[in-house]
A and B are shown apart, each in its own frame.
Chain A
Amino acid sequence: MRVLQRENVQEVLRVGDSARVASDAPARFKPGDAVRTRNFHPPGHTRLPRYARAKRGVVAISHGVFVFPDTHAATGDKKPQHLYSVQFTMRELWGEGASDIDTVHIDLFDDYLEPA
């Protein structure tokens, strides 16, 4: 087991740890693509919030490849995959009476998304 030594503390806190993974795996989506989030309710960790399941949005930014938190939390499997900023209208997320101009951006992984 690694032990954090007093002399290493400052460096460890300064550098931190990135979840970005070097990869040339192709992205399933590109900015401008219409997507639909999956509707699932896993008992484990997920970064797809309940209010954003089974919703239609548009890919705004492609961030690159990152560790997939769902499997990483469950078993340690990094399952690296593309991460996107996906834009949703408030109307899509919250329904009647919500703005169709105001939007929310949520960072979402390939495994959460289907083409729409």
Chain B
Amino acid sequence: MNGAHDMGGMHGFGPIAPEPDEPVFHAAWERRVFALTVATGFGGEWNIDMGRFARESTDPAIYLRSTYYEKWLHGLQHLLIERGHVSEAEIEQRMAQLAAREEGGKA
């Protein structure tokens, strides 16, 4: 598909700034997204190319402002919702729960 991922030749993104000694994961949630993607993919319900296509299918505006593992998460959510494992409402509900818990923790 002619999506936002197919960026070859696009201008305006600025220089690439490689991080010296870049860590494998920048935050604990990235490690978790990687684990979720491997564990659910192992189920065999989709293959690696279906996984890539799911990432490419992310809304272009969201895709362009997402970091690497955010793109993985968008793709995984897409597959899980598309195949009826979770609903968008369930994800929203769980996010609200976790946000409330975090708020409570701060108080």
- Please list the residues of chain A having a beta carbon within 8 angstroms of any beta carbon in chain B: 1-4, 9, 12-13, 17, 19, 41-46, 49-52, 67, 69-70, 72-74, 76, 94
* Chain B interface residue number, banded: 10 to 19
Question: What residues on A are CB-neighbors of B47 within 8 Å?
Answer: 72-73, 76
Nearest residue, chain B, Cβ from A19: B48
Check if A51 sits within 8 Å of B49, measured CB to CB. Answer: no
A3-B43, A49-B8 are contacts. A41–B49 as well, Cβ < 8 Å? no
Interface residue SS majority, chain A = loop
Question: What residues on A are CB-neighbors of B48 within 8 Å?
Answer: 17, 19
Question: What residues on A are CB-neighbors of B53 within 8 Å?
Answer: 44-45, 73-74
Pick the contact of B49: A45, A49, A50, A52 (CB < 8 A). Answer: A45
Question: What residues on A are CB-neighbors of B2 within 8 Å?
Answer: 41, 50
- What separation, in Å, do the CA atoms of A49 and B9 have in the docked complex? 10
Question: What residues on B are CB-neighbors of A44 within 8 Å?
Answer: 1, 53
Is the C-beta of B6 less than 8 angstroms from some C-beta in chain A?
Answer: yes
Knowing that A41-B2, A50-B9 are A-B contacts, what are 6 other residue pairs whose CB atoms are under 8 Å apart, sorted by A's residue number? A1-B45, A2-B42, A3-B42, A9-B38, A45-B1, A50-B8
Check if B42 sits within 8 Å of A4, measured CB to CB. Answer: yes
- What separation, in Å, do the CA atoms of A37 and B47 have in the docked complex? 26
Question: What residues on B are CB-neighbors of A43 within 8 Å?
Answer: 1
Question: What residues on B are CB-neighbors of A45 within 8 Å?
Answer: 1, 49-50, 52-53, 56
